[in-house]
Amino acid sequence: MRFHWGWIEPVMPVPYVPTLGPARWDDPLPELLEAVVDVAGTGRFLSHDKDRRWGETKTEWVLVDAIEHDQKQTLVPTLVDRGRGVVKVHVYGAVPDSLSTGADLARKLAAVHGTAKARVVWFLGADQPDAYAQGTRVQLKDFTTGPGEAPGAPVQEYKELPEGFGFHAFAAAMAEDGFAFLYEQMQAGTVGPVLTVLHDRLVAGAIGPMETMTDVQGQARLLPQYFGVLPQHRGRGYGRALWRAAMHWGHQHGAAYQLLQTEVGGASDRLCRAEGLVSLGFVNQADV
C-alpha cells in the first residue's frame, strides 16, 4: 500500500498519523504514513514510537487491506488489540458523507475482527471553534524559545520524598487519571522521574514520568506525562507549578519540543492555552 500525499495533504487539517498520534507539520508525514503501514501486524515498534516505553509489542496496527484511498477521501482503519478490542477508522476527507462512510467501515470491520467497539476518528483545523470539537486539542510546546516561567510553588522529585508523604494514597485516588498504573511502573523502576507538589506534607499533585525520546528527524522531544492534582487541592496554583517545573525539566534535558493532546475545555487544556502553547487542531472520536 502506497499513499498519494497529494490526495491526503489537502484533507489533513491536523498532522496526525494513525497508531503514532500527533506530529508536527514539518515532520516527514508521507514517510511516517508509509512506515506505519510497513510494520502493520508485526508487533514491532518504530524506533520513534512513544508507545514503546510501555510494552514490548505494538498493540495497535493499521488494517492495510481495508484502507480506502482516493482523491476525495482516505480512510485508515486500525485494530487495537487490548482488552476486548477496538476498530478505529481515521477519516481524512471533506466530502459530505465522509464520516458516515467511515462509521460504516468501522462497524463492518468490528464485526469481522470481533471487537467490542467500533470508533470513527476525524479531524478539525486549529481555526475551527472549540464548540465543534468532540475530543482533544493537539498542542505544541516549542523549547527553542526557552522553558517559560519558573514554578510558583516548591516542586520535588518523588525519589527525594521521605517515607510517609502519601504518593500511594495519591495514586489510588487518581487511578482514573492513570496514576495507579504509573505508580506500579515507578515501583518497578522502569520509568523516568516523577515531579510532585505537597500540601500539608502530603502529595497533592504530580506530573510524570519525565522522559525524552528521539523523533524521526533525530530531535529530542519531551514525551507526554500523566498529570493531575487532587480535587480538594485544585485552584491553589499547584497544577501550574507542576507544569512549569516539567517544562524546565524538558528544556534542561535537551528537548526541542513537546506534543500533547488535551481534552477540549478541560483543566489541562486551559492551562496549556494560558501557558502559550500552539494549537495544531483537534482530534475527534465517537463510538458508532
Give the domain range for residue 51.
5-124
Model pTM? 0.93
- Do 220 and 256 form a contact (C-beta atoms < 8 A)? yes
> Domain check: are 182 and 239 in the same one?
yes
Return the pLDDT at 162.
82
Return the pLDDT at 163.
79
Residue 285, domain member (yes or no): no
Closest to 130 in 3D by CA, of 286, 265, 288, 270: 265
Return the pLDDT at 105.
98
Instruction: Give buried/exposed letters for 92-117 (b at 16+ CB in 10 A, else e).
Output: bbeeeebbebbbbbbbebbeebebee
CA–CA distance, 51 with 45 (Å, rounded to integer): 8
> Domain check: are 120 and 169 in the same one?
no
Q: Assign residue 215 the CATH number of its domain.
A: 3.40.630.30
Give the chain's domain count.
Answer: 2
> Residue 88: how many CB atoms within 10 A of its CB?
26
| Ramachandran area for residue 281 (φ above 0: left; ψ -120 to 50: alpha; else beta) | left
> Domain check: are 167 and 38 in the same one?
no
Residue 199, domain member (yes or no): yes
User: Above pLDDT 70, what percent of the chain?
Assistant: 100
Give per-residue pLDDT as tens, 54-69. Answer: 989 999 999 999 999 9
> Domain check: are 113 and 155 in the same one?
no
> Domain check: are 224 and 113 in the same one?
no
Average of per-residue pLDDT values in the chain: 95
Give per-residue pLDDT as tens, 115-138. Answer: 999 999 999 999 999 999 999 999
Return the pLDDT at 1.
65
Residue 132, domain member (yes or no): no
Give per-residue pLDDT as tens, 163-208. Answer: 778 999 999 999 999 999 999 999 999 999 999 999 999 999 999 9
> Domain check: are 151 and 106 in the same one?
no
Q: Which three cell numbers stand for residue 136?
A: 482533544
* pLDDT at residue 252 is higher than 90: yes
Residue 185, domain member (yes or no): yes
User: Above pLDDT 90, what percent of the chain?
Assistant: 93
Eight-class DSSP state of 101: H
Query: Which stretches of the chain are assigned E, i.e. beta strand?
Result: 16-17, 21-22, 60-62, 68-69, 73-80, 86-93, 117-124, 135-142, 156-157, 195-199, 202-208, 212-214, 220-222, 226-229, 257-263, 278-287
Mean pLDDT across 95-101: 93
- Do 209 and 194 form a contact (C-beta atoms < 8 A)? yes
CA–CA distance, 80 with 82 (Å, rounded to integer): 6
Beta bridge partners of 90: 76, 121
> Domain check: are 149 and 234 in the same one?
yes
Domain boundary among 65, 93, 124: 124
